[in-house]
Amino acid sequence: MEREQEELQSLGLFGIYREACKIIFKWRRIFSQITLSLVLPLSVIFLAHIESNVLLSRIFKMEFVIHSTRADNPIHKRFYHRVSSEWAYFWLFKFVYFTFLLIFSLLSTAAVVYTIACVYTAREATFKKVMRVVPKVWKRLMVTFLWTFLVFLVYNLVAMLIFLIWAVTDGDNTVSVVFFFIILICYAVGFVYLTILWQLASVVSVLEDKYGFKAMLKSKELIKGKMWVAIVFSFKLNFSLYATQFVFQYFVVSAWPLRFEYRIGVGLLCFLLLLMLILFGLVIQTIIYFVCKSYHQESIDKSALSEHLEVLLGEYERLKPQDIQLKESEWHTSKIRATFASSGSQLAFSVKKAITKNST
């Protein structure tokens, strides 16, 4: 990130990739510590999602057996009582999975964004400082996530309503099928757009005094002009993540006919690739924020950003307007007192001088 603002605004996707690689390799110590403490658990949690797929597959097999056997069959009764507990375990697993995924995702985002900002402002970035800031920034990121979740919820409900209306009103013909795919494509585009807004809003929540819905509005303005860069990056990242997960599930978890040592090797390769992808993605989404700021000619004031980072760290406290007015009032009061004191001393000196003169 050792580039001037004019250079940042002209960076394309491959330029952003090169910039991310330079930062990660130059400050590899701090990023290694962040990876081991936050990104590694996040990767484990991400791969743990495969367990839910295995559970769901097992539940579907049980339900198939239940529907294909008679009620008086012992297998039917055994599976009928077991499938309810499997569903309960499935939803419990989903809840725990998404909870920990959210926590470590936000913590990793906070740590990486703060570190990149320290690099940009030439501030010392140590792992101890980063971990002091992360809990404070995490609250702001959580508010932004909740707003994003609400927007996604409304978006999906509207999309479900549109699909329901299509299913009820349209007939089984070519025009109906074409219209369905048009709706599906529009839904996918909107979903990707909201995902990009969330990623950029997360960076805004750390580096600016905006979070929640305001951060989403800010990211909406910033992304204009660099939309295709963000879309291509988001598509490539998500495709790589899910491709890695698929390879891990198919070759490692699903007992595909590979020798045990080969399965261990493939599993380690997938895990290392996942670590690099997550870290690389977090660094790039932060760089995209600075590129968008530069593209819109918004001044990237390093001193103001450094001051903001000090506030997050707790080393600096900004004065509120009422505090400034109070200090100004105290300054005027002290000045008036000094003026009166000076006038009083001059008057006393004059009286003393007059008395001395009369006595002589």
- pLDDT tens-digit map of 294-345: 877 776 555 555 565 666 666 544 434 444 344 444 445 555 455 545 555 5
In the prediction, which pLDDT does 331 show?
45
In the prediction, which pLDDT does 147 show?
92
Judged against a pLDDT cut of 50, whether residue 360 lies above it is answered with no
Q: Give the mean pLDDT of 350-359.
A: 48
Judged against a pLDDT cut of 60, whether residue 354 lies above it is answered with no
Residue type, position 291, single letter: V
- For residue 245, name the pLDDT band (cuts at 50, 70, 90): confident
Judged against a pLDDT cut of 80, whether residue 285 lies above it is answered with yes
Q: Give the mean pLDDT of 128-142.
A: 83
Judged against a pLDDT cut of 90, whether residue 157 lies above it is answered with yes
Residue extents of the structural domains in the chain: 5-318, 322-360
Judged against a pLDDT cut of 90, whether residue 150 lies above it is answered with yes
The tens digit of pLDDT for each residue in 160-205 reads 998 888 877 765 677 777 888 888 888 888 888 898 898 899 888 8
Q: Is 351 exposed, middle or buried (0-12, 13-18, 19+ CB in 10 A)?
A: exposed
Q: What is the pTM of this model?
A: 0.76
In the prediction, which pLDDT does 137 show?
82
Helix 260-295 to helix 13-26 angle, to the nearest 10 degrees?
110
- Interatomic CA distance for residues 283 and 30, integer angstroms: 13
In the prediction, which pLDDT does 5 show?
60
Whole-angstrom Cα Rg for the chain? 31
The tens digit of pLDDT for each residue in 11-66 reads 778 888 888 888 888 888 889 999 998 999 988 888 887 777 777 777 777 777 77
Give percent of the chain above pLDDT 70: 74
In the prediction, which pLDDT does 318 show?
45
Residue position matching structure tokens 């996707």: 13
The size of the chain, in residues, is 360
Judged against a pLDDT cut of 50, whether residue 67 lies above it is answered with yes
Higher pLDDT, 183 or 68: 183
Helix 227-248 to helix 40-68 angle, to the nearest 10 degrees?
60
Q: Give the mean pLDDT of 5-10.
A: 66
Q: Give the mean pLDDT of 124-139.
A: 81
Q: What are the C-alpha distances in Å from 161 to residues 49, 158, 169, 195, 216? A: 29, 5, 12, 21, 25
In the prediction, which pLDDT does 153 show?
93
Q: Over the chain, what is the mean pLDDT?
A: 77
Annotate 262-294 with three-state secondary structure.
HHHHHHHHHHHHHHHHHHHHHHHHHHHHHHHHH
